[in-house]
Amino acid sequence: KTTFNIEKIRKDFPILDRKVNGYPLVYFDNAATSQTPKQVIDAIVDYYSNYNANIHRGVHALSQEATDAYEQARIKIQRHFNIPNAYQTLFTAGTTHGINMVASGYASILKEGDEVLVSALEHHSNIVPWQMLCEKTGAKLKVIPMLETGTLDMEAFDALLSDRLKVVFVNHVSNALGTINPIAEIITKAHQKGAVVLVDGAQAAPHIKADVQELDVDFYVVSAHKICGPTGVGMLYGKEDLLKLLPPYQGGGEMIDQVTFEKTTYAGLPHKFEAGTPNICGGIAFGVALDYMNEIGFDAIAKYEHQLLEYATSKLQEIEGLRIYGESKDKTAVVSFNINGIHPYDMGTILDKLGIAVRTGHHCAQPIMDFYKISGTVRASFSFYNTFEEIDTFVAAVIRAKEMLS
Ligand code: PMP
């Protein structure tokens, strides 16, 4: 059982003590990247202070310590997502890298006339690699449309299911709106057509502990930097038969079995997909970040963040002319909004002057903005280390900015 102690939690994040433009920092850009607790910072310092070495090939003590810590981190990540085997838990440089690994692998599998399905709620990193794949293979890219509520049109999805469908890619949670997508239903229905499903878990990972076996998902990708870990490291899970089927993404050291100039044979999983020296320290810190969040508990985190979301939503809705995009009941702690006649960039700039960090713009999800016929939104995204008082400060600042800009 976990208890949620916000004062204690905030002490773990040194950055929350700093001032921006003379005001205490209010960090509401958590969907872009989360802040880093001192436990993770300490693990990074410890690595470089005490056992920095290259892994997997050294016989010396430091190399073995680093290898052990890196492989321990892999097991932590494996357990967190309930992945059957450690060798199906691939280290990547992040979500974008993981998606590209899978998409580029399918370039040698898909044929002209095959269909791939993307959702209208995707981040560009889950659109562009598949467009590139379709250009290469002649496969056809189709889109699951969205509704005004910011949810997917599941009737349209049913109608798009065809026997030519090979791959579906959808995010678990939309970064622009916070909508939680019905991925279990999408996976079941896609499997009935013999298609595989890649789920982009980048935005879900901070709030939802996904169980890849229960979901029966084929590929699942995340970035560590959204879950209190460092940038430049992430995870790709794949079903064993699919990972064996896909060709390696990059050639290099560490990913080979035998190399001659005539022919190279590849190493088994996970090394086939892990060419070159990886982000060793990042991988270790990723494991520590998951330990940290699991200690607080994902149920406790989700419950508290939902309270923050409801509080912020009701306060913001009192502001005249303010519209929140994405009205799904299933939402993570994201409010994406605009105020009549005010450009989101201007709002974001004034909030920054008051020490408040939000994201403005299209959030790498231009199709969603096109759907609503807007250029962008102001997005405030909350984390478990945020407080109700910070929301009060933020709402007061939005009202002040509105008065200045109207
Ligand atoms: N997908 C989603 C839904 C995201 O929110 C992000 C990060 N904004 C990404 C993919 C890309 O993640 P990264 O930049 O860490 O590769």
Asked if residue 94 has its Cβ within 6 Å of ligand 1, the reply is yes
Q: What is the pLDDT of residue 1?
A: 40
> The domain 42-294 is classified under which CATH number: 3.40.640.10, 3.30.930.10, 3.30.365.10, 2.40.70.10?
3.40.640.10
Ligand 1 site-directed mutation target among 30, 33, 34, 123, most atoms within 8 Å of CB: 123
Parts of the chain with a pLDDT under 70: 1-3
Asked if residue 100 has its Cβ within 6 Å of ligand 1, the reply is no
Listed in order, the ranges of the chain carrying CATH 3.40.640.10 are: 42-294
Asked whether the CA dihedral 388, 393, 398, 402 is positive or negative, the reply is positive
Q: What is the pLDDT of residue 78?
A: 98
Ligand 1 centroid distance, CA of 247 (Å): 24
Q: Write down the pTM of the prediction.
A: 0.97
Q: Give nearest CA residue, ligand 1 atom 4.
A: 202
Q: Which atom of ligand 1 is nearest to the CA of 32?
A: 8
Q: What is the pLDDT of residue 3?
A: 59
Asked if residue 137 has its Cβ within 6 Å of ligand 1, the reply is no
Ligand 1 centroid distance, CA of 20 (Å): 26
Tell me the per-residue pLDDT of 133-179, one tens digit each, with 9 for 90 and over: 999 999 999 999 999 999 999 999 999 999 999 999 999 999 999 99
Q: What is the pLDDT of residue 2?
A: 45
Ligand 1 centroid distance, CA of 176 (Å): 11
Q: What is the pLDDT of residue 94?
A: 98
Listed in order, the ranges of the chain carrying CATH 3.90.1150.10 are: 6-30+297-405
Q: Which atom of ligand 1 is nearest to the CA of 174?
A: 3
Asked if residue 126 has its Cβ within 6 Å of ligand 1, the reply is yes
Strand bridging mode 219-223 / 196-200: parallel
Q: Which atom of ligand 1 is nearest to the CA of 95?
A: 16
Asked if residue 171 has its Cβ within 6 Å of ligand 1, the reply is yes
The residues that are catalytic are 364
Q: Which atom of ligand 1 is nearest to the CA of 96?
A: 16
Q: Which fold has domain 6-30+297-405?
A: Aspartate Aminotransferase, domain 1 (3.90.1150)
